[in-house]
Amino acid sequence: MTRTQRPDDSALVAAARQGDSAAFETLVRAHSGPVYAHALRFFGNPHAAEDAAQEVFIKVYRSIETFDGTAAFSTWLYRVTRNVCLDMLRSGRRRPVPVDLVDVSLTAADDTAAEAITTATVEAAMRTLPPEDRDALSAIGLFGLSYAEAAEALGVPEGTVKSRVFRARKALVTALGPEGGDRR
C-alpha cells in the first residue's frame, strides 16, 4: 500500500526561500511532472500545458516566501496549478502511483483488454470526466495528496473527495474496460 513517494520538499523550500536558485530548480524538476500532467489534462494541449506549467512555477517562485509550510508543498503547488489552469481555462488529466496495493489474484478473463490500455487511451478518457471528478483524481493521483489534503485544497468534505475519486475511476474503468467500447 504505497503512495507516490514525495521528495523531502521542506529542505528545498527552505533553501529556495533563502534565494537558493539551485534548490528551486530542483523543486521544479521534481514537481514538473504533476504540474504538466494536470495542465495537459486540463487543456488537452501540450503547448497550453507547457505555458501553464511555466506560469505555475513563476508564481510559485514569486510567492514562495509566503509559503509557510502549514500545508504540504504539494498541496500548495496543486492549488497554484489548479488556479493557473482555471485562469487560463479548459481541462484534462490522469494518475501514477505504483499498484499492487490490492493483490487480488486475477486470473485474467480478458487480459487483452487490460493490455490495450495505454497512456494515450487513459488520457483521452480522463478528458471525458466531469471536471470536479478529474480534479479530485488529479490531486490524489498526480500530486499524491491524501484525501484530507485534497479536501482542504478543493474546499469540499473528505467524503466528497473519496466519492469523486471513485466516480472518476469507475468512469475510466467503464470507458477502458472490456465493456468500455471506445479504445481510441
Partner 1 sequence: MMMECTQAQEIISAAYDGEERDPLALETAKDHCRSCAECAAYVRTLAAIHRLPAPDMPQPALERVLETLRAEWETAPAEVAVAETETVAETAPLQIVETPFEPPAHDGASRPRRAPAWAPWAAAAAVLLVVAGIATTQGVRYLLQPSGDSGIVGETVTSDSEREYGEDEAGTAAVTPPAQDEAATTASGPSYVLLGQEVYALVGPVDPPVSSGSVGSVTTSLDTAGPPATYAAYPGATPDTIVVTVDDDSSLGFAAVVRPLRGTPFSLRSSAIGTFGQWPSLPAGVPEPSAPDGSPVFIAAGTDDLGVTIYVRPGTDPSSGFAVAPGTSSGDPAAGNTGWTWWEPRR
- With vertex at residue 146, the alpha carbon angle to CA 143 and CA 152, rounded to the nearest 5 degrees, is 95
184 binds partner 1 (CB under 8 A): no
Exposed, middle or buried, 103 (CB in 10 Å: 0-12/13-18/19+)? exposed
Largest CA distance in the chain: 56
DSSP string over 92-131: ---------SS------S-HHHHHT--HHHHHHHHTTS-H
149 binds partner 1 (CB under 8 A): no
Q: Which residues ranging from 113 to 132 are in contact with partner 1 (CB under 8 A)? A: 113-115, 117-119, 122-123, 130-132
Min CB(7)–partner 1 separation in Å: 15
| DSSP symbol at 64 | G
Hey, what amino acid is at 4? T
Q: Which residues ranging from 40 to 59 are in contact with partner 1 (CB under 8 A)? A: 40, 46, 49-50, 53-54, 57-59
Which CB atom, from 11 or from 174, has the smaller least distance to partner 1? 174
Which CB atom, from 15 or from 162, has the smaller least distance to partner 1? 162
- Cell numbers that stand for 173 in this block: 474503468
6 binds partner 1 (CB under 8 A): no
Per-position x/- string for 24-43, each x denoting binding to partner 1 as judged by CB under 8 A, each - no binding:
xx--xx--xxxxxx--x---
Min CB(1)–partner 1 separation in Å: 5
12 binds partner 1 (CB under 8 A): no
Of 5, 18, 103, 181, the one binding partner 1 by CB under 8 A = 103
98 binds partner 1 (CB under 8 A): yes
69 binds partner 1 (CB under 8 A): no
CA atoms within 13 A on the CB side of 175: 18
